[in-house]
Amino acid sequence: MTSSTKAQSAIKAGFSPKASGIGYDRPLFAGLLNAPALIAIFLLAGYPILNSAWISLHRYNLKRPQRFDFIGLENYASILESSEFWSSLWITVKFTLLVVTVVTLLGVAIALLLNQRFPGRSALRTLILLPWAIPPVVNGLMWQWIYDSKIGALNGLLVSLGVISEYRGWLSEPTSALLALAFADVWNVLPLAVILLLAALQKIPGELYEAARMDGAGGFQSFWFITFPWLAQTLLVVLILQTLSAIRAFDVIYVLTAGGPGTSTTTLTWKTYLTTFENLDFGLGNAYAYVVSLITLGFALVYFRVLYRRGDFET
Amino acid sequence: MSALFAFGGGTATDAREIRRTILLMLGGLAVAAYILAPFCWLLLTSFMHERDALTVPPQWIPKNPTFSNYMTFIDPAGTRAIVGSRAAEQTFPGMLNSFIAATGTAALNLLLGTMAGYALARFRFRGRGGLLGLYLGSRVLPGIALIVPLYLTIKNFGLLDHLSALIVTYVSFTLPFTIWLLKNYFQTIPRSLEEAAFMDGCSWLQMMWRVLLPAAFPGLVAAGMFAFMTAWSDYLFAVILTSTTAAKTLPVVVAGFATDVTTERTLMATSGVLAIVPPLVLAFLFQRLIVQGLTSGAVKD
């Protein structure tokens, strides 16, 4: 047995051979390598997480900063009792469902297209990244003008095509404002879904399709029996990422609708912002933030369970 | 639609093949229009005179194209900059700040992410799964939940309105994804490569530098780009943690523009375009590597 294969078999057995110069079971070195990341995350995520949990248990309003009274779960109770919470929860659900559904469907369709061979494909693969490079603030600004009731491009386009007869205030009606907001966000977040799905499509061995065609499978059959199963895990990842990012959408709301008209685009995240920075009610605001977090955590756990059960998620 | 699902094959006739290609190209054109139209509207507005930008129906192509909006940013003290000149003055410092913050975030991410990702990919140690869970779990809370305590923490360090505070904040938020991506990428690289380097007498650092990191280049580019984009795009933290041109980033400047009703629309469009160009150039430059990095790093077999 040569020393190289000896080393390899030793590594397979979980040993740390001197010859290889590295211990695959050296916990100290592993800890050392993880320390900087851990410190950064603890200082700027861990500590604030704990601190905001603590604040959420207090009556603490910056309008009366000297008062910091422990009130237990009272903030949470008042959130659950308020109709504002339930209405913003409902709006969050509608917004998230809309964004996630459209992004997933469009994402799959575009990824499938980009996986085919046709002239201009590589240019399109590059072009698809464009919205990704646009900061949400700029994205909001851009769509604000597109939707503008007096001089907007959408009105101009639809009127000249004869779809609508006169200019409309897309952002001033509750239903169209939520739709407009969702579509502006979809445009911004679509590239990530497309490149993840495209990456997954590229991993599917071409022979599978060959074999399927030999067996006489049609286009739809080979999609359903080959493409879809291979795509399933990435689809779940896309669903997770998009759900979390839709629930957290903030910048685009800030620029585009500011939660309005009325409260028709006031999602939970926007409600958290209003409570914290408009009303300066830090206690209640942090409680709101925790409710949002619990909802996202719930989603994340459900998704991870599905991934685990499928055996796709390994550490 | 079925053209999307099927693969081209030798049995198909030429006519079918041509029809398929045309269908695919039409689909491609539709996607290109959807992606380009909103951006082009912004871009074209930035070359218009304010008067032309306010017409009904809108001018799709500027009748009297002008560079004056861009000149306003290049020379804010110039003649045209009565409206919104303060924001115009802040744009280039903001751009520089954004660039430093985003580059710093990406660099630190790669350094810390490589270390942690390597350890998670290669070593077996107690609490490995827990550590990974901890990293991913730290991203469950939305930024808005952390902003108040974060503000207080950074104030205590005396780092308000410092780019370093922004960088560290962005690092802590982007690091979990970087670690996860790099860990997955490192796991696709055969250990025998490392073993061979050690056999040749490389130290761990030499092995990383000469063998593993070059092999993981697409993963590193993808992770670095994600961190860069996150930092470049952020508004929420930048607006709370910075206040002057010493550290104000571009989204804060642009948002200041956007919420000021007196600002000219064409100037706003121009600042928007300026905010997009640097990340766009990077994204287009590294497109192939990003997809390649994600293919191995984020999408598993």
φ and ψ at residue B181, rounded to 5 degrees? -65, -45
Through-space distance between the first and last CA atoms of chain A, rounded to whole angstroms: 33
Q: Are residues B114 and B54 in the same domain?
A: no
Chain B residues 69-108 with a CB less than 8 Å from chain A: none
CA distance A207 to B88: 57
List, in order, residues 6 or more apart from B123 with CB less than 8 Å away.
A23, A24, A25, A26, A27, A29, A30
At A148-170, the pLDDT tens digits run 888 788 888 888 887 887 788 88
pLDDT at A14: 43
* Domain termination residue (choose one: B39, B74, B109): B74
At A180-191, the pLDDT tens digits run 999 999 999 999
Check whether A2 has a pLDDT greater than 80.
no
Q: pLDDT class for A101, splitting at 50, 70, 90?
A: very high
Q: pLDDT class for A309, splitting at 50, 70, 90?
A: low
Q: Are residues B105 and B245 in the same domain?
A: yes
Tokens 């104030």 belong to B155
CA-to-CA separations, B250 to A25, A162, B101, B239, in angstroms, rounded: 46, 39, 11, 10
In a 3-state reduction of DSSP, which class is residue A69? Answer: strand
Check whether A13 has a pLDDT greater than 50.
no
Q: pLDDT class for A20, splitting at 50, 70, 90?
A: very low
pLDDT at A97: 94
Per residue, what are the HEC states of B245-271? Answer: CCCCCHHHHHHHHHCCCCCCHHHHHHH
Q: Are residues B39 and B155 in the same domain?
A: no
Q: Are residues B231 and B89 in the same domain?
A: yes
Within 10 Å of residue B202's Cβ, how many Cβ atoms? 17
Q: Are residues B241 and B147 in the same domain?
A: yes
The answer to whether the Cβ–Cβ distance between B251 and A138 falls below 8 Å is yes
- B120 in any annotated domain: yes
- B79 in any annotated domain: no
pLDDT at B1: 43
Give the rounded distance of the alpha carbon of A311 from its chain centre: 23
Q: What is the total residue count of chain B? A: 301
**Total count of domains within chain B:** 2
* Domain termination residue (choose one: B54, B74, B94): B74
Chain A residues 125-144 with a CB less than 8 Å from chain B: 125-138, 140-144
Residue A234's H or E segment, with its range, is helix A228-248
Residues of chain A with Cβ-Cβ distance to B283 below 8 Å are 129-130, 132-133
> Which of A48, A142, A200 lies closest to B146 in CB terms?
A48
> Which of A37, A202, A220 lies closest to B116 in CB terms?
A37
Q: State whether residue B282 sits within 8 Å of chain A by CB.
A: yes
Q: Are residues B257 and B151 in the same domain?
A: yes
Do the beta carbons of residue B106 and residue B228 sit within 8 Å?
yes
pLDDT at A16: 40
Alpha-carbon gap: A20 to the closest alpha carbon of chain B (Å): 6
The answer to whether the Cβ–Cβ distance between A151 and B56 falls below 8 Å is yes
CATH number at residue B200: 1.10.3720.10
Q: State whether residue A205 sits within 8 Å of chain B by CB.
A: no
Residue A58's H or E segment, with its range, is strand A58-59
The answer to whether the Cβ–Cβ distance between A55 and B149 falls below 8 Å is yes
Q: Are residues B183 and B96 in the same domain?
A: yes
List, in order, residues 6 or more apart from A253 with CB less than 8 Å away.
A140, A181, A259, A265, A267, A269, A270
- Which residues partner with A70 through β-bridges? A58
CA distance B145 to B147: 6
Q: How many CB pairs under 8 A join A and B?
A: 338
Q: Can you read off the two tokens belonging to residue A185?
A: 């966000």
Q: Can you read off the two tokens belonging to residue A44?
A: 């700027």
B108, B123, B237, B292, best to mutate vs chain A, most A CBs in 10 Å: B123
pLDDT at B76: 66
Per the model's pLDDT, the better-predicted residue between A282 and A3 turns out to be A282
CA distance B35 to B39: 7
Chain A residues 228-257 with a CB less than 8 Å from chain B: 233-234, 237, 247-248, 250-251, 254-255
- Which residues partner with A69 through β-bridges? A59
> Which of B24, B124, B234 lies closest to A116 in CB terms?
B24
pLDDT at B115: 93
Tokens 């290109």 belong to B32
Residues of chain A with Cβ-Cβ distance to B299 below 8 Å are 196, 199-200, 203, 233-234, 237
- Which residues partner with A61 through β-bridges? A281
Residues of chain B with Cβ-Cβ distance to A4 below 8 Å are 195, 199
Please give the CATH architecture assigned to the domain spanning A83-310.
Orthogonal Bundle (1.10)
At A60-72, the pLDDT tens digits run 887 877 777 888 7
- B208 in any annotated domain: yes
CA distance A164 to B166: 46
- B80 in any annotated domain: no
pLDDT at B35: 93
Residues of chain B with Cβ-Cβ distance to A37 below 8 Å are 112-113, 115-116, 135, 175, 179
At A24-68, the pLDDT tens digits run 667 788 888 888 888 888 887 888 888 888 888 888 887 877 777
φ and ψ at residue A61, rounded to 5 degrees? -120, 130
Within 10 Å of residue B123's Cβ, how many Cβ atoms? 21
Q: Are residues B182 and B247 in the same domain?
A: yes
The answer to whether the Cβ–Cβ distance between A128 and B31 falls below 8 Å is yes
Check whether A311 has a pLDDT greater than 50.
yes
Q: Can you read off the two tokens belonging to residue B281?
A: 């150039």
Please compute the mean of the pLDDT values over residues A230-248 and round it to a whole number: 85
pLDDT at A5: 46
Q: State whether residue A27 sits within 8 Å of chain B by CB.
A: yes
Measuring CA to CA, which residue among A22, A47, A309 is closest to residue B199?
A22
The answer to whether the Cβ–Cβ distance between B25 and A282 falls below 8 Å is no
The answer to whether the Cβ–Cβ distance between B115 and A34 falls below 8 Å is yes
* Domain termination residue (choose one: B74, B104, B133): B74
pTM: 0.84
- Which residues partner with A59 through β-bridges? A69
The answer to whether the Cβ–Cβ distance between B141 and A43 falls below 8 Å is no
CA-to-CA separations, B268 to A93, B13, B84, B91, B240, in angstroms, rounded: 32, 53, 9, 11, 22
pLDDT at A161: 83
As a whole number, the mean pLDDT across chain A is 82
Through-space distance between the first and last CA atoms of chain B, rounded to whole angstroms: 27
Q: pLDDT class for A241, splitting at 50, 70, 90?
A: confident
CB-facing half-sphere around the CA of B4: CA atoms within 13 A: 17
Within 10 Å of residue A122's Cβ, how many Cβ atoms? 11
In a 3-state reduction of DSSP, which class is residue A200? Answer: helix
Alpha-carbon gap: A81 to the closest alpha carbon of chain B (Å): 21
CA distance A77 to A178: 28
Q: Are residues B138 and B239 in the same domain?
A: yes
pLDDT, tens digit only, all 301 positions of chain B: 444 444 444 555 788 888 989 999 999 999 999 999 999 988 988 888 877 777 777 777 777 787 777 877 777 666 555 555 566 778 888 899 999 999 999 999 999 999 999 998 888 888 888 888 888 777 777 777 788 888 888 888 888 888 999 999 999 889 988 998 899 889 888 888 888 888 888 888 898 898 899 999 999 999 999 999 999 999 989 988 888 888 889 898 888 876 666 677 788 888 889 889 999 999 888 888 888 888 776 665 4
For residue B29, what are the domain limits?
2-74
- B66 in any annotated domain: yes
Q: Are residues B205 and B144 in the same domain?
A: yes
Q: pLDDT class for A223, splitting at 50, 70, 90?
A: confident
Check whether A179 has a pLDDT greater than 60.
yes
Say what the ipTM of the complex is. 0.84
Q: What is the total residue count of chain A? A: 315
Q: Are residues B258 and B148 in the same domain?
A: yes
Torsion, CA B84, CA B90, CA B96, CA B102, rounded to 10: -80
Check whether A102 has a pLDDT greater than 90.
yes
Q: Can you read off the two tokens belonging to residue B89?
A: 């003055």
For B182, counting Cβ atoms within 10 Å of its Cβ (0-12 exposed, 13-18 middle, 19+ buried), the class is: buried
φ and ψ at residue A58, rounded to 5 degrees? -125, 155
CA distance A300 to B108: 27
Within 10 Å of residue B11's Cβ, how many Cβ atoms? 7
Chain B residues 143-172 with a CB less than 8 Å from chain A: 143-150, 152-153, 168-169, 171-172
Q: Are residues B105 and B242 in the same domain?
A: yes
The answer to whether the Cβ–Cβ distance between A45 and B138 falls below 8 Å is yes
